């Protein structure tokens, strides 16, 4: 059974922990710019950055145009300038030299389970933001209950960097993980699991999980009151974000099948 990481195995309520500015930019200016661009996005990381900017009383300019780059980040027009925010994978051509200057810092962030968000203006990297999420307190118990119910394998599929994903996977005791995945790569991973195991239940909560949810034998959307796309793609919707509801749903399905077979 594959699981999404952010918002599924973690709380999906990340918080900004670090801000680094480059060149003649300041940390405040980087955060203000990022908060303006992220204000119209519903991604957990975007909401964390926008909320942190508001918490510090920074005035967010309205973004005139916003282009979501699924699984990569976004770009937005703010004050007549194009602002881009996302992972190194999306903006590698722009940030690779910048990244070389901060290798030790980035490695330190990743070792502490932080997601790195790059911020740029036009064709220039201006800063990076470290964001950390928290594992759901009930996640490990829920995974153990699923194994007791007969789930043969648990695997985590994440778009996050491999080091952060490995830390979460080890903490929860999942049997394997794949990191740095785009939405279409999550779909491929699910198809591969279906080819090997035959029956696969995918658990996710966001728009990035929708293709994988649709391709799984059973797509299970968690806490779908906040995401219509995941709800449409899934076969089962758990309206609560409590992961302990998942073993209950699996057990209920098993009981229903036993009763149906008995009646037949």
Give the residue numbers marked as catalytic.
Answer: 4
Mean of per-residue pLDDT scores for the chain:
83
Does the model's pTM come out above 0.75? no
Which of 52, 59, 242 has its CA nearest to residue 145? 242
Q: What is the pLDDT of residue 201?
A: 92
Structure tokens at 56: 């510090």
**How far apart, in whole angstroms, are the C-alpha atoms of residue 91 and residue 201?**
33
Structure tokens at 42: 């519903």
Last residue of a domain, one of 63, 97, 132: 132
Last residue of a domain, one of 102, 132, 162: 132
Structure tokens at 77: 């027009």
Containing H/E element for 16? strand 15-21
116 and 155 together in one domain: no
184 and 246 together in one domain: yes
| Residues facing residue 20 across a β-bridge | 128
76 and 96 together in one domain: yes
Last residue of a domain, one of 117, 132, 147: 132
pLDDT band at residue 144, thresholds of 50, 70 and 90?
very high
For residues 226-255, b (16+ Cβ closer than 10 Å) or e, as one string? ebeebbebbebbbeebebebbbeebeeeee
158 and 111 together in one domain: no
Q: What is the pLDDT of residue 194?
A: 92
The CATH number of residue 238's host domain is 3.40.50.1000
How many domains is the chain built from?
2
**How far apart, in whole angstroms, are the C-alpha atoms of residue 208 and residue 230?**
9
57 and 115 together in one domain: yes
Please give the average per-residue pLDDT across 111-135, as a whole number: 83
85 and 29 together in one domain: yes
pLDDT band at residue 97, thresholds of 50, 70 and 90?
low
Which of 260, 12, 5, 9 has its CA nearest to residue 131? 12
Residue span of the structural domain in which 62 resides: 15-132
Q: What is the pLDDT of residue 71?
A: 65
């Amino acid at each position: 059974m594959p699981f999404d990481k952010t918002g599924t195995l973690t709380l999906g309520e990340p918080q900004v922990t670090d801000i680094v500015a480059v060149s003649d930019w300041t940390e405040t200016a980087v955060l203000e710019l990022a908060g303006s661009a992220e204000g119209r996005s519903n991604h957990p990381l975007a909401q964390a950055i926008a909320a942190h900017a508001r918490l510090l009383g920074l005035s967010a300019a309205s973004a005139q145009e916003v282009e979501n780059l699924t699984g990569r980040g976004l770009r937005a027009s703010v004050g007549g300038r194009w602002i881009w925010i996302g992972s190194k994978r999306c903006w590698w051509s722009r940030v690779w030299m910048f990244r070389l200057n901060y290798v030790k810092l980035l490695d330190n962030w990743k070792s502490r389970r932080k997601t790195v968000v790059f911020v740029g203006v036009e064709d220039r990297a201006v800063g990076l933001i470290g964001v950390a999420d928290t594992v759901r307190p009930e996640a490990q118990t829920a995974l153990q209950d699923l194994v007791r119910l007969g789930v043969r394998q648990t695997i985590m599929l994440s778009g996050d960097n491999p080091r952060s994903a490995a830390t979460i996977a080890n903490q929860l005791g999942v049997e394997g993980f794949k990191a740095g995945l785009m939405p279409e790569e999550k779909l491929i991973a699910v198809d591969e699991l279906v080819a090997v195991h035959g029956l696969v239940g995918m658990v996710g909560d966001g728009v990035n999980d929708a293709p994988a949810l649709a391709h799984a034998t059973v797509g299970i959307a968690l806490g779908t009151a906040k995401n219509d796309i995941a709800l449409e793609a899934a076969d089962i919707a758990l309206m609560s974000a409590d992961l302990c509801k998942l073993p209950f749903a699996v057990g209920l399905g098993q009981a229903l099948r036993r009763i149906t077979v008995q009646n037949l």
